[in-house]
């Protein structure tokens, strides 16, 4: 049996959602560069990933209506969020548990017909921004802010964080982030969602599992670790980028935000995030953070040939939104859930259980000795 560590280069499914071909990323045939440069809305991308086509005006309006209808949280969910506002509980654990609770409170969570599954998906997609914003406020002792029906998906989230409408440039930048992070081939969290969906379990279970996978520092959690690294360098007495990174590399420590299993020359999402990082740091007077990020990028490229992935500059961009760094991966989740749900739909239609094999490398031909026949020392079986 040939073993592919980490399933590297193993193709396990077909999809019409996203593709990485010759270093280019596309969603159902639309190049990611064009979607960002022409300001495609995140709501359009949700529809695209769920239907493999762009919406008509009527379909777009209906999707917006459905999202707004399901965005508010019940008092029961808010009460559960308050309970989770304690130290040493990672916000991704809060999101994971709260999404699971949505299924507990949904009387139709076990229904598998097409309409019920769609409503479950809409509910999850719509409520995650509200969950994140409510939690961000509750842990500061502030009351949650209800969503508004007249704001877009991204604008609503930024509004629910502060109670004030964000400026159009910030909304546009956040919409770009949502589009860029929406889907990405068969990454770890998406694969987790598809494995769960292949068992024909409910949608809430699929997404709860995907969130658990995204939490890991080798996946979505990397952007949080990137900001920790930048902060350590910036707050040091010497601000010695080369010395800091050399020590990390000499100690065989992984540099978060660099390297990619698929991309070898450039992550196509990076250039957009780097541009946004430059623009936003200039707007908010945080140019030093952008300059520091560029120094880190230049050093690692020169010394190790390492390239930034989507997580590296997204950390700087998210910081400019005024969001605490331990919430960065939750922002990733708000976007990526659209892709997860698209893959759940696709996998359920395929109706094939994902069940790989493993190669056994443990001991063989051992002889079992019953406990009653083993020698005892001091009355204890050995």
- Which of 345-381 are b and which e, b meaning 16 or more Cβ less than 10 Å from the residue's Cβ? bbbbeeeeeeeeeeeeeeeeeeeeeeeeeeeeeeeee
Nearest to 39 by CA among 157, 148, 180: 180
Q: Within a 13 Å sphere around the CA of 230, how many CA atoms are in the beta-carbon half?
A: 28
The span from the CA of 230 to the CA of 38, in Å, is 31
Residue in 270, 273, 283 with CA at minimum distance from that of residue 169: 283
Hey, which bits of the chain come out as E strands? 18-21, 24-27, 30-31, 376-377, 380-381
How many CB atoms are located within 10 Å of the residue 174 CB?
Answer: 26
Buried b or exposed e, range 43-63, using 16+ CB within 10 angstroms: bbbbbbbbebebbeeeebeeb
Residues 6+ apart with CB under 8 A from 171: 152, 154, 155, 158
The single-letter DSSP state of residue 308 is B
The residues annotated as belonging to the active site are 260, 311
- Order of strands across the sheet with 24-27? 18-21, 24-27, 30-31
- Facing residues of 26 across strands? 19, 31
Coarse DSSP helix, strand, coil percentages of the chain, rounded to the nearest 5 percent: 60, 5, 35
What's the Cα-to-Cα distance from 45 to each of 18, 321, 343, rounded to whole Å?
Answer: 11, 22, 14
Residue 275 Cα distances to 131, 135, 184, 304, 345, angstroms:
29, 30, 20, 23, 34
**CA 107/CA 74 separation, integer angstroms:** 14
């Amino acid at each position: 049996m040939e073993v592919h560590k980490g399933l590297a280069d193993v193709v396990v499914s077909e999809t019409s959602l996203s593709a990485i071909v010759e270093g280019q990323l596309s969603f159902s045939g639309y190049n990611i560069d064009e979607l960002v440069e022409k300001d495609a809305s995140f709501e359009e991308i949700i529809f695209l990933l769920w239907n493999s086509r762009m919406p008509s005006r009527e379909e777009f309006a209906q999707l917006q209506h459905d999202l707004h209808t399901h965005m508010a949280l019940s008092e029961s969910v808010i009460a559960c969020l308050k309970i989770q506002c304690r130290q040493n509980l990672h916000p991704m654990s809060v999101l994971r548990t709260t999404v699971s609770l949505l299924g507990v409170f949904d009387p139709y969570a076990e229904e598998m017909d097409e309409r019920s599954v769609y409503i479950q998906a809409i509910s999850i997609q719509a409520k995650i921004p509200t969950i994140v914003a409510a939690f961000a406020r509750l842990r500061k002792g502030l009351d949650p802010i209800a969503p508004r029906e007249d704001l877009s998906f991204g604008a609503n989230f930024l509004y629910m964080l502060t109670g004030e409408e964000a400026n159009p440039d910030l909304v546009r930048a956040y919409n770009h982030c949502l589009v860029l992070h929406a889907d990405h081939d068969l990454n770890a969290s998406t694969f987790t969602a598809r494995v769960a969906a292949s068992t024909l379990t409910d949608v809430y279970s699929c997404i709860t599992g995907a969130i658990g996978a995204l939490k890991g520092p080798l996946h979505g959690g990397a952007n949080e670790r990137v900001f920790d690294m930048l902060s350590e360098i910036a707050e040091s007495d010497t601000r010695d980028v080369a010395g800091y990174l050399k020590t990390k590399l000499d100690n065989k420590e992984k540099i978060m935000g660099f390297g990619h299993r698929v991309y070898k020359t450039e992550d196509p999402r990076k250039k957009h995030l780097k541009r946004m990082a430059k623009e936003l740091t200039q707007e908010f007077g945080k140019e030093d953070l952008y300059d520091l990020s560029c120094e880190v990028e230049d050093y690692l490229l020169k010394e190790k040939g390492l390239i930034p992935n989507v997580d590296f500059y997204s950390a700087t961009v998210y910081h400019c939104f005024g969001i605490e760094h331990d919430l960065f991966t939750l922002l990733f989740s708000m976007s990526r859930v659209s892709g997860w749900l698209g893959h759940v739909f696709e996998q359920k239609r395929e109706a094939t259980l994902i069940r790989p094999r493993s190669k056994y490398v443990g001991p063989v031909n051992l002889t079992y000795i019953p406990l009653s026949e083993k020698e005892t020392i001091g009355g204890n079986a050995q």
